Every structure is written in C-alpha cells, then in structure tokens.
Amino acid sequence: TDIDPAEMNKNGRTAVMLQSDVKSALRLLNANLSRQSHPLWCQRVHAFGRVIPRNEAGGIAPGELVRAVAAVCGEDAYVATDVGQHQMWTAQFYPLSAPGRFLTSGGLGTMGFGLGAAIGAQLAHPEATVALFTGDGSFRMNLNELATVAAYGLPIRMILLRNNSLGMIRQWQDASFGGRHSQSDLPALDYCAIARAYGLRAVALEETPGWQERLAEALREPGPVLIECPIRPDNKVLPTVKPGDTLESLALSAHEL
C-alpha cells in the first residue's frame, strides 16, 4: 500500500497493489479481516525473553547486562534504544511495566535516534528514570547531543555496548557471507573521554568478576552518566532469522537457547 503510484512495482513485482492513504487502507482491511490469534507462537516468542542464551563468545553477556540494568533502573523506567543488536537484546530482556515506556525506532533503522529520544523522555518526565541502550556505531551518529544532556543536567543513564563493530551487520555477514566482513568493523574510540569532555561522568566496565556491582554503583549515582560496557563482537542476537526460515524453524523452546 502506498499513496504514491510511482512506488508501485518500483523494487519488485507486487501481487496486489493498493494506492491509498495508509490510514484509509488499514480501516478497510480491518473491516474485512477476521481477528487472528496465535497463542502458541506468542508463547514461544515470550520464551526468548525469559531465558538468556548461553554466552559462547565469553565476556559480559548482553542479556545479563540488560537484566542487570533493569534490576537497578526498574520496570517503570523509560527505556530508549538506538538501532542494532543492542536494540534487539533490550527488547528481549528488559521487563517493562506499561506501554509507552520502550522508545525505539523499530525497523526504521534510524541510528542516532536513541539519545534524542532519551533526552525527550527525561524532559517530559523529569522525575522518572530514563535509560538509554546504545551501540558504538549508533552512538557516533548523534553524540554531539551530549552537550544538551550536560547543559540541562539530565540524569540519563547511558549504557553503551561497545564491540568496535556494527554488530548487526557483522552478524549478517557471518550468517550470509561466510564471515567475510566488509565495513562492519569500527576503530576504537575512548567514549568515556568524549563524555568527560562534555563535563559528564563516565564509567568504563571491564570483563572481570564483579562487573554487576560496579554497574549498579554507577547507575545509582545522581546525575547523567555514560557507562561503557565491552562485549565481544561474536555475540549474536538469537534466534537468527535467515531467508527461507519458517515460523516453525524459529520456534525454539527455552531449553534450546
């Protein structure tokens, strides 16, 4: 469905074309389609978030990191994300208590969205806890807005999952191109030094025992903070979806994770 006829069959042959404003088209479709229910599939999808996959890559497990942040920030926090693997892990493993608390661009792929969204949430809800999950690829896109965070003293908890790569692109290159990586590795940057240059507090976690306690301590301090969390570049979002996969092939049980 598209309101612009030039978009019809632009990138591929279409079985059914509807030239319409999407709001009008959806109203028509809703009036003519019966309500569907897929309880078994929903049950399997929810299982993916209940069990943290084994961390074959070693180091800090992304799922454990998200849960550790949630344990301090709570289910009532406003949680923003950028785009990439961290976005998927946050969606899977952060428990939220109400609608409207998860601020993400979904499938639009707008890297750099997260920091602005977190700033907006904190300005709209000054007494609320606001957490930002971002990756080093996305964070580079809009980190100049740290100046806004500093100028207004916005107490945003910024959790940066650093793997020195565009993690989701790297994962697809592993899955579809035999591990041949092109333009998915990033040069290392000292993100804590950048945050401190803006006058913000910054903490660099290390892949050592006790990282959970150091994370909790950083999250409980007042004011804005950037927490740089190293993860291994071989960590994967699971289940991985590839061309040709079916719902049945993706419906892993919890113990298979």
> Which of 37-41, 100-104, 194-198 shows the lowest per-residue confidence on average (mean pLDDT)?
37-41
Reply yes or no on whether the pLDDT at 99 is more than 60: yes
Over residues 166-215, the pLDDT tens digits come to 989 899 898 888 889 998 888 889 999 999 999 999 999 998 999 999 99
State the DSSP string of 193-235. HHHHHTT-EEEE--SSTTHHHHHHHHHHSSS-EEEEEE--TT-
Give pLDDT, residue 239.
76
Structure tokens belonging to residue 241:
């979806």
Give pLDDT, residue 200.
98
**Does residue 257 or residue 57 have the better pLDDT?**
57
Over residues 134-173, the pLDDT tens digits come to 999 999 999 999 999 999 999 999 999 999 999 898 998 9
Reply yes or no on whether the pLDDT at 253 is more than 50: no
Task: Quote helix, strand, coil % in the chain, to nearest 5.
Answer: 45, 10, 45
In terms of Cα–Cα distance, which of 2, 18, 41, 70 is closest to 239?
A: 41
Confidence band for 254, pLDDT divided at 50, 70 and 90: very low
* β-pair partners for 130: 78
Q: Give the chain's mean pLDDT.
A: 89
Confidence band for 249, pLDDT divided at 50, 70 and 90: low
Give pLDDT, residue 46.
79
Reply yes or no on whether the pLDDT at 246 is more than 70: no
| pLDDT mean over 62-85 | 96
Over residues 184-193, the pLDDT tens digits come to 888 889 999 9
pTM of the model: 0.82
CA distance 120 to 106: 17
Reply yes or no on whether the pLDDT at 250 is more than 60: no
